[in-house]
């Protein structure tokens, strides 16, 4: 009798158990969390500005931990551009290349399932991303980054992940515009193909495996402001919208690269609805998709989660306390002394000590006739006194190599015309604006928090060194530049070829100065290259300061904006507009 009762009780117990990880209503619920464009924000500390951050991977870690306990399955994915931006990654990219990479350790500890490569990850070079492929406990994706020798993807094209009987397919794509920004040495043996064509190629293979959900993990931005994404030419920097429109099969597309946030439903040309999500940048937001499966129905919803609302995970902080201390010691290392405070602010109105230092080092290393450089930090200063490694990350934020290239005098003039057309307004009198600003519908500068915003990107405002010239802003764009001579008195000749120093971003076509400005075809740029450094320019700036023991740059005073009376009238007012203070 007892055995019969026991069997009945056991049968009732089994019948009450959830089947296949489902809840009592036969429904499964999963969550997908995307991080993107972390740019080294692994810890809740800005190692460049030396201040606490209210959002970082430490906050993400705590949030994900709580979510995991209440879901049938959680998928944690990333969309790339993680290997540039903070000393946390630079140190393990280039200084300590023996220890396990901090980024890999952090992502492995958090339990990531997949990651797509970003352009700034490729920027770190083969030695870094090839090493990380081995250190990650998850696949690095990019279907359209193709090995030239084999014709197969250099990274994984897609991955199928099954958790709790739910099969999720993830296809990775990277922005194909990389050759317009980066030197070929950094991606030797790889070509970057069209996103739409690549997605169409791999989708049938993915669908054959009958996944419950197909996700795009694209390191490319989302832009449907105009209809261009529907055109056949989809080989562009931010091609996520083109893929969404033209390639059927995706349920969710996670975007990245453009540092914008997105949470919207999109209907493609087949009439299918796709959830589009983008988590912004630097750990500020998480893109979250929730999917409920019940019989043959699926309900998909999205949201953006603000990471600053979650305290840093104490376990995470304890786990990586050693790396934290290593990076703090690294950025605090003194490399020289500055007898005066140096600011980037003067760089927009004429020659400055800030840009003069970059020009001097570029010409010294390359022996070039002319140097082009821009302020790579909009508003930064290096205080009087000890100069540290951290200060150099303020001064020069990107891991650009230094190129020397050949240009004709005519191309040099056009290059400068293009640069200043991005930067300076055409003035009809002394009361007109000198700088180009973002304007409201009434044609007035947009003021946010008491400050005006420039219409274009400051790191594209190149000035020249090695030549004496004027910029006449009373004249129309394209006819403002007058190159008088070289600094040493040599005549400048438009038909002659010269050796020019530029950073690798510019030398690869970034900003359009060489292509749209000077008129050199993109495919011709590599033939113009004379030499490239094997280390980033920041390294050489630090090396120069360490050798000289002092940071004491001077403005070169080799160019000026005219008419000078008009400019003088505007500088004080526009300095206040841009920076909220006068000099």
pLDDT at 560 over 90: yes
Alpha helices in 177-287 (DSSP H): 195-207, 240-246
The H or E element spanning position 342 is strand 342-343
Give the burial class of 108: count Cβ atoms within 10 A of its Cβ; 0-12 exposed, 13-18 middle, 19 or more buried: middle
Q: What is the pTM of this model?
A: 0.88
**Whole-angstrom Cα distance, residue 426 to residue 475?**
7
Structure tokens at 60: 């993400």
Query: What confidence tier does 234 reach under pLDDT thresholds 50, 70, 90?
Result: low
- Predicted local distance difference test score (pLDDT) of residue 225: 84
Other Cβ atoms closer than 10 A to 179: 18
Q: What is the DSSP letter of 419?
A: H
Query: What confidence tier does 10 reach under pLDDT thresholds 50, 70, 90?
Result: very low
Mean pLDDT of 520-539: 93
Structure tokens at 238: 């931010």
Query: What confidence tier does 168 reach under pLDDT thresholds 50, 70, 90?
Result: very high
Output the CA–CA distances (angstroms, integers) from residue 159 to 116, 142, 217, in the order listed: 11, 11, 11
For 79-118, what is each residue's pLDDT tens digit? Answer: 999 999 999 999 999 999 999 999 999 999 999 999 999 9
Nearest to 373 by CA among 349, 342, 396, 341: 396
Percent of the chain's residues with pLDDT above 70: 95
Nearest to 138 by CA among 206, 77, 62: 77
Triad 324, 326, 327: Cα angle to 5°: 70
CB neighbour list of residue 31: distance below 8 Å, 6 or more residues apart: 67, 71, 73, 74, 75, 288, 289, 290, 291
SS3 of 17-72: CCCCCCCCCCEEEEEEEEECCCCCCCCCEECCCCEECCCCHHHHHHHHHHHHCCCC
- Predicted local distance difference test score (pLDDT) of residue 24: 43
**Whole-angstrom Cα distance, residue 576 to residue 583?**
8
Q: What is the DSSP letter of 530?
A: E
- Predicted local distance difference test score (pLDDT) of residue 376: 85
Which domains are delineated in the chain?
Answer: 30-327 (3.60.21.10), 334-579 (3.90.780.10)
């Amino acid at each position: 009798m007892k055995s019969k009762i026991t069997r009945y009780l056991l049968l009732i117990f089994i019948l009450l158990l959830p089947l296949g990880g489902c809840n009592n209503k036969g429904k499964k619920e999963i969550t997908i969390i995307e991080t993107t464009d972390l740019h080294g924000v692994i810890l809740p500390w800005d190692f460049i500005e030396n201040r606490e951050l209210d959002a970082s991977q430490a906050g993400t870690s705590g949030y994900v931990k709580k979510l995991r306990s209440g879901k049938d399955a959680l998928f944690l994915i990333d969309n790339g551009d993680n290997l540039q931006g903070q000393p946390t990654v630079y140190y393990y990219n280039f200084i300590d290349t023996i220890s396990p990479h901090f980024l890999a350790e952090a992502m492995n500890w958090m339990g990531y399932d997949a990651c797509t490569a970003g352009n700034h990850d490729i920027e770190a070079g083969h030695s870094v991303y090839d090493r990380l492929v081995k250190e990650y406990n998850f696949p690095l994706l990019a279907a359209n980054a193709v090995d030239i020798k084999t014709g197969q993807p250099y990274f994984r094209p897609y991955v199928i992940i099954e958790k709790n009987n739910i099969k999720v397919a993830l296809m990775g794509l990277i922005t194909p515009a990389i050759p317009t920004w980066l030197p070929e040495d950094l991606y030797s043996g790889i070509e970057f193909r069209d996103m739409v064509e690549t997605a169409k190629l791999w989708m049938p293979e993915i669908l054959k495996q009958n996944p419950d959900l197909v996700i795009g993990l694209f390191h490319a931005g989302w832009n449907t402001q105009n209809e261009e994404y529907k055109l056949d030419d989809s080989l562009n920097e931010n091609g996520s919208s083109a893929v969404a429109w033209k390639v059927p099969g995706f349920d969710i597309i996670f975007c990245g690269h453009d540092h914008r946030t997105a949470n919207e439903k999109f209907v493609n040309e087949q009439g299918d609805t796709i959830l589009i999500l983008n988590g912004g940048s630097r750990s500020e937001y998480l893109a979250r998709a929730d999917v409920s499966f019940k019989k043959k129905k699926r309900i998909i919803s999205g949201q953006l989660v603000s990471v600053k609302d979650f305290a840093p995970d104490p376990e995470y902080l304890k786990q990586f306390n050693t790396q934290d201390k290593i990076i703090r010691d690294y950025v605090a290392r003194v490399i020289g002394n500055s007898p005066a405070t140096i600011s980037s602010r003067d760089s927009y109105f004429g020659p400055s000590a800030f840009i003069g230092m970059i020009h001097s080092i570029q010409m010294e290393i390359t022996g070039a006739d002319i140097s082009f450089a821009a302020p790579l930090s909009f508003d930064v200063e290096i205080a009087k006194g000890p100069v540290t490694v951290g200060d150099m990350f303020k001064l020069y934020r990107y891991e650009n190599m230094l190129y020397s290239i050949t240009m004709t005098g005519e191309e040099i003039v056009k290059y400068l015309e293009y640069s200043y057309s991005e930067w300076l307004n055409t003035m009809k009198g002394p009361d007109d604006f000198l700088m180009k600003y973002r304007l409201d519908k009434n044609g007035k500068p947009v003021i946010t928090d008491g400050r005006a915003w420039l219409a274009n990107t400051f790191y594209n405002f190149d000035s020249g060194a090695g030549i004496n010239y004027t910029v006449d802003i009373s004249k129309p764009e394209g006819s403002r530049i007058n190159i008088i001579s070289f600094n040493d008195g040599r005549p400048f000749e438009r038909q002659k070829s010269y050796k020019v120093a530029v950073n690798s971003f510019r030398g690869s076509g970034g900003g359009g100065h060489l292509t749209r400005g000077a008129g050199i075809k993109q495919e011709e740029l590599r033939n113009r290259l004379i030499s490239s450094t094997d280390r980033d320019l920041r390294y050489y700036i630090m090396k120069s300061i360490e050798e000289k023991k002092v940071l004491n740059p001077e403005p070169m005073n080799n160019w000026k904006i005219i008419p000078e009376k008009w400019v003088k009238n505007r500088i004080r007012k526009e300095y206040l507009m841009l920076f909220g203070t006068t000099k």
